């Protein structure tokens, strides 16, 4: 499963990009737009009671919860900064790595100023 995170300055552009990704084949249930910093902070406060109480650890858990995997710390910083300054974050998930790459390109074309694709690690038993 690949997760794509994209930051937009314009909510309408993010919404249009979401519709385009749905049209390209990403399931609507796997698309989400996040813009509510207060909600993210509230989730962070609840999660902060867990093992890693650092701010970065809390933010990592918030975005980990949001996309159901841990994303790299650099991208968490970029997205957190984007939301703090009022940006809109579009989250998309797809099991198709080719579609994830196409989605990233489409998001850049749609005006996203930061786009990252993260593949979930496979665990074998």
Q: What are the sequence ranges of the domains in the chain? A: 2-119
* Dihedral angle sign, alpha carbons of residues 28, 31, 35, 41: positive
* pLDDT per residue as tens digits for the range 89-110: 898 989 999 999 999 999 999 9
Token couple for 95: 């099991």
Arithmetic mean of pLDDT, 1-16:
91
- Residue 26's φ and ψ, nearest 5 degrees, are -80, 130
Contact of 63 with 118, CB cutoff 8 Å: no
Average pLDDT, the chain: 75
**Quick count: other Cβ atoms within 10 Å of Cβ 40?**
22
């Amino acid at each position: 499963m690949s997760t794509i995170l994209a930051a937009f300055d314009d909510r309408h552009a993010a919404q249009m990009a979401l519709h385009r990704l749905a049209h390209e084949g990403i399931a609507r249930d796997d698309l989400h737009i996040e813009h509510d910093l207060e909600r993210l902070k509230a989730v962070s406060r609840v999660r902060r009671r867990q093992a890693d109480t650092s701010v970065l650890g809390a933010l990592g858990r918030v975005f980990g919860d949001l996309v159901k995997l841990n994303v790299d710390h650099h991208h968490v910083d970029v997205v957190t900064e984007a939301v703090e300054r009022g940006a809109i974050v579009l989250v998309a998930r797809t099991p198709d790595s080719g579609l994830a790459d196409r989605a990233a390109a489409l998001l850049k074309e749609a005006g996203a100023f930061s786009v990252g694709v993260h593949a979930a690690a496979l665990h074998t038993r």
